[in-house]
Amino acid sequence: MTSTEQNRAGTSIETAIQEYLKSLKVQNLAARTIKEAAWRLGKLTAYLESRGVTGITGITKDVIVSYRIEQYERINQMGRPNGVCHQNMLLATVKQFTRWLWEFDYLVSDPAKEIRYAKQPKTLPRGILTPTEARKILHAPDTKSVLGYRDRTILEILYSTGIRKDELVRLTLDDVDYNDGFLRVFGKGRKERMVPLGRIACRYLENYIKSVRPELIRDPLDKTLFLSLRHRPLSKNVVWELTKRHARKAKITKNVHPHTFRHTCATQMLRNKAHIRAVQELLGHESLDSTQVYTHVSITDLKEIHASCHPREKDKE
């Protein structure tokens, strides 16, 4: 062990975490990413304290495995065990932290290196809308009112582009080109991408900016695209609520939320022969694996293929 390692080995967990979070800021990671890392490491700290572990040398493989088991057995606020995705996200943050501790000589080895993630079940997106259902929701807002026209514009953009609600509420006037039909979107980790916008969505967006948004704006220097009646940027919760409200008004019984339009956009484009790489770019997925979940074949599609391709279906008796 070097002298540097000996000096850092006595570092408290709280101090090490603060240094780690500072390193994330230096890397220019998104504030949300850093906030989530701090929250997850806070859960680790609470567990370690309950075990009497206060120094970083107490973070061993056995302790991390025990922490993982504790999270597996924990019942969440919904009265259910923590899901595999949640467990893996907590473990991912721990693994990133312990790797950093090793790389910067706080530890002589990485105690989480050999710990594997839990196998995550592959689930298909639920509640995909049919084109008819999507149109019913799009037509639900009263476009004769200011908020109704704003809501219609939001729904048109969600359906046309498949962007996330977080990405939508961060849009500004500088991100919009309704003449050429593009949006500049900042996704996870502040990653920028250009997204095509359909002609109908462009028409609504242009009218909203020219005729409706002026009714909602108070500060002429504020370039936030979508605003509330109180002249403030829309929150993600408001987008969630308005989507739910218009789906109920359209009498859609499926569980509709903003991400439903993302799932629906991707699924319908792939069904209409869009190349999976193009859909990957549209959605801003880093990995093609994330996009491939939308290539599932629905039971309706499967029935049609079965009826047209199975030889027995051509027999009269």
Instruction: Read off the pLDDT of residues 143-177 as tens digits, 9 standing for 90 and up.
Output: 999 999 999 999 999 999 999 999 999 999 999 99
Structure confidence at residue 275 (pLDDT):
84
Structure confidence at residue 86 (pLDDT):
87
Alpha carbon 201 to chain centroid distance? Answer: 22
Give the CATH fold of the 3-103 domain. Answer: DNA polymerase; domain 1 (1.10.150)
Which pairs count as long-range contacts for 9-12, CB under 8 Å and 24+ apart, including other chains?
A: 9/55, 9/56, 9/57, 9/106, 9/107, 10/55, 10/57, 11/55, 11/56, 11/106, 12/54, 12/55, 12/56
Q: Strand pairing of 182-186 and 192-196?
A: antiparallel
In the chain, residues under CATH classification 1.10.150.130 are: 3-103
Burial zone of 43 (CB within 10 Å; 0-12 exposed, 13-18 middle, 19+ buried):
middle
Q: How far apart are CA 188 and CA 26, in angstroms?
A: 17
Please choose, from the candidates 48, 19, 49, the residue with its C-alpha nearest in 3D space to the C-alpha of residue 34.
19
Q: How far apart are CA 53 and CA 70, in angstroms?
A: 16
Please give the sequence-ordered ranges of beta strands (E in DSSP) within 149-308, or none if there are none.
Answer: 176-177, 182-186, 192-196
pLDDT tens sequence across 236-266: 999 999 999 999 999 999 999 999 998 898 8
Structure confidence at residue 13 (pLDDT):
92
Question: Which sequence positions are flagged as catalytic?
Answer: 164, 188, 259, 262, 285, 294
Structure confidence at residue 285 (pLDDT):
79
Structure confidence at residue 300 (pLDDT):
62
Residues 164 and 179 sit within 8 Å (Cβ to Cβ): no
Structure confidence at residue 9 (pLDDT):
61
Q: What is the mean pLDDT of each run of 10 residues along the chain (317 residues)?
A: 56 92 91 92 94 91 93 82 86 94 92 89 75 95 96 96 92 93 84 89 96 93 94 93 96 93 88 83 77 64 69 67
Structure confidence at residue 224 (pLDDT):
95
Q: Which residues, listed in sequence order, are joined to residue 245 by a DSSP beta bridge?
A: none
Q: Does domain 131-302 have CATH number 1.10.443.10?
A: yes
In the chain, residues under CATH classification 1.10.443.10 are: 131-302
Structure confidence at residue 7 (pLDDT):
54
Structure confidence at residue 6 (pLDDT):
53
